[in-house]
Structure 1
Amino acid sequence: MSETSSPRRSSRRRQAVIKSANTSSSLGRDRWLLSYADFITLLFAFFVALYSIAIQHKGDEVRLTETLYGVFDAVQKSIKPINIGEPIIGDPKDIKFEDAAPVPAATPVADKKPQDTSPSVVFSLLKQVVEEQFQGLQQSGQINISESADWVSLELKSGLLFGESEYELSNEAVALLMLVSNVMISYPSVIMVEGNTDNLPTNSSRLASNWHLSSLRAASVVDELVYQGVNPKMIAPIGFSSERPKVRNTNTYARQQNRRVTLRISKRNASNLYDYLFK
């Protein structure tokens, strides 16, 4: 009896040992996952640190610290839907839908632009702009505004608008033309932009003659006004070279007076400049 039971106990013991060994080996095979997960976490944190260091802006140190804390202390969260109101039971066909009422059309806003668009208003507004914003330039003769029976004329000396033998606008010229464009957008009129030079030849290799210089300067002014919103159908440049001097080109001061760009604003109503000139 004892000899029979002894082999059985021994057999059970061997089976238990084998089972325990198999379990231990199975657990041992899965332990690499922990090391792999730690490695991936550290590698991710390393690249986050490199990226944060590469961004050289104020406050990056704080952002780096917060990022690293977020990587190592992150807690996975499950997102659960939040029910609002009573749960819906049944098929969607049981739900009743109501037709949405049409949105009433918006009430048109009345145009706030002044109704008086007479040429005298344009002259008054331009004169006010010049006196309030560019009084010093007006006193020095760099800007002059005048009025005749057919035109409102805003004369700008070329020294105010351009460098010597140049046709690109200066910053001061752009600021002035921005204010002028606001008036002309509110009170559209036909505008002729005239470029004038003195009688000395140009000293620039890019320009063949004063005809080119006067035309390009007038075109630069037109480009800026159109860019600011003036209707391109109501404005055009024209260059007169030195053929329309204000005074005789006898000295340096006289030549400065002749180098100018003049905005001539018509007092006659017209829908576009082409019809105004040719029809």
Structure 2
Amino acid sequence: MSDDVPHSSRRRRVRKSKPASATQGRDRWILSYADFITLLFAFFVALYSISLKTQGNDRRLTETLNGVFEAVQKSVKPINIGQPIIGDPKDQDVVNAKAIPANPPNMEEKLQNPVSATITPKPTIYDLLNNTINNDFKSLQKSGQISISESPHWINLELKSALLFGAGEYQLTNEAVALLIVISNILKSYPAPILVDGNTDNLPVTSNRLISNWHLSSLRASSVVDELVYRGVNPKLIAPIGFASEHPKVRNTNSEARQQNRRVVLRISKTQAGNLYDYLFK
């Protein structure tokens, strides 16, 4: 009798497990229902696409239909968020950087049209000095007190001694200081070797303070250099030199000719250099 009881209880437990498996089979309709809903959604999207077709937008119709069928396919597959990354993320950044075009469209247009990309060249020191003389010191230029010229290697800014000094003097006048301030501002912007040479006529000096025209021409050139250096010109790029009457502009035949020979000339080199000494002697 004791043996029958376990046997009957085992039978009852087996019979109770069958309704559970039947319940699992009945729940499988949810999968079919989900597929039906997905297809129904695709159907309505397709109807919307057909309405786009009536408006003549073939490209949007194609994109929409492709999106619908891809959505149906992805509904039974795992959906990936974003693009898969293969390899090291650092390598992916390199790939993305390579995908960026080297030359933007605007740059390509500039390369094809070099005229539009031309940069205005910086004005030369000769242009600035010449414009300053023509605009600010036009009367001095007309009277011959100041002039500018150039050669293949030098720019020559000539200042008459009567504009800078009194008769037989080597100290600058107030008008000369104002003029040299303007000139120094240009020279500071374009650093280059500068020689300042003083010249006199052939008449002997009459002042007790001066020994000769060599002395006078050197002191006048030094006064100009001192003022330019005081106003900010690099002292390593400038030096005075006196020629006395040994380098006349015209022959010393009369007072007018002697007046032309009494002058100070700023000779500005067109070649850049670190200092004047190396430029002249090395």
Q: Give TM-score, length-normalised by structure 1.
A: 0.57
Q: Which residue of 2 aligns with 1:244?
A: 247
Q: Which residue of 1 aligns with 2:157?
A: 154
> Which secondary structure state, in structure 2, belongs to the residue aligned with residue 163 of structure 1?
coil
Partner deviation per Cα, 1:34-53 (whole Å, 9 max, x = no partner):
xxxxxxxxxxxxxxxxxxxx
Q: Which residue of 1 aligns with 2:148?
A: 145
Q: Which residue of 1 aligns with 2:185?
A: 182
AA partner of residue 162 (structure 2):
G
Q: Which residue of 1 aligns with 2:135?
A: 132
AA partner of residue 158 (structure 1):
S
d(CA) in 2 for partners of 1:116 and 1:268? 18
User: Aligned match of 2:223 in 220, 234, 253?
Assistant: 220
d(CA) in 1 for partners of 2:141 and 2:150? 16
Runs of 4 or more consecutive aligned structure 1 residues displaced over 2 Å after TM superposition: none
Query: How far off its partner does 1:133 sit?
Result: 1.1
Query: What percentage of residue pairs aligned between the two structures are identical?
Result: 67
AA partner of residue 149 (structure 1):
P
Q: Which residue of 1 aligns with 2:267?
A: 264
User: Aligned match of 1:200 in 200, 203, 206?
Assistant: 203
Query: How far off its partner does 1:273 sit?
Result: 0.2
> Which secondary structure state, in structure 1, belongs to the residue aligned with residue 171 of structure 2?
coil
d(CA) in 2 for partners of 1:250 and 1:203? 19
Query: How far off its partner does 1:147 sit?
Result: 0.8
8 Å CA contact retained: 2:201, 2:258 = yes
AA partner of residue 219 (structure 2):
L
d(CA) in 2 for partners of 1:203 and 1:129? 36
Q: How does 1:25-174 map to 2 (within 5 A)?
A: 121-174=124-177
d(CA) in 1 for partners of 2:234 and 2:178? 19
Partner deviation per Cα, 1:225-264 (whole Å, 9 max, x = no partner):
0000000000000000000001000000000000000000
Q: Which residue of 2 aligns with 1:31?
A: none
d(CA) in 2 for partners of 1:189 and 1:269? 5
Query: How far off its partner does 1:116 sit?
Result: 6.1
Query: How far off its partner does 1:169 sit?
Result: 0.3
8 Å CA contact retained: 2:188, 2:233 = yes
d(CA) in 2 for partners of 1:242 and 1:277? 23
d(CA) in 1 for partners of 2:188 and 2:208? 37
> Which secondary structure state, in structure 2, belongs to the residue aligned with residue 172 of structure 1?
helix
Partner deviation per Cα, 1:97-141 (whole Å, 9 max, x = no partner):
xxxxxxxxxxxxxxxxxx967xx7100000111111110000000
Query: How far off its partner does 1:269 sit?
Result: 1.4
> Which secondary structure state, in structure 2, belongs to the residue aligned with residue 219 of structure 1?
helix
Larger Rg: 2
AA partner of residue 121 (structure 1):
T
d(CA) in 1 for partners of 2:162 and 2:179? 14
Q: How does 1:16-27 map to 2 (within 5 A)?
A: none
| Matched pairs, number | 163
> Which secondary structure state, in structure 1, belongs to the residue aligned with residue 124 of structure 2?
helix
> Which secondary structure state, in structure 2, belongs to the residue aligned with residue 208 of structure 1?
coil
Change (3 A) 1:116 1:186: farther
d(CA) in 2 for partners of 1:222 and 1:121? 22
AA partner of residue 223 (structure 1):
D
8 Å CA contact retained: 2:191, 2:272 = no
Q: Which residue of 2 aligns with 1:62?
A: none
> Which secondary structure state, in structure 2, belongs to the residue aligned with residue 271 of structure 1?
coil
Consecutive unaligned residues in structure 1, runs of 5 or more: 1-114
Consecutive unaligned residues in structure 2, runs of 5 or more: 1-119
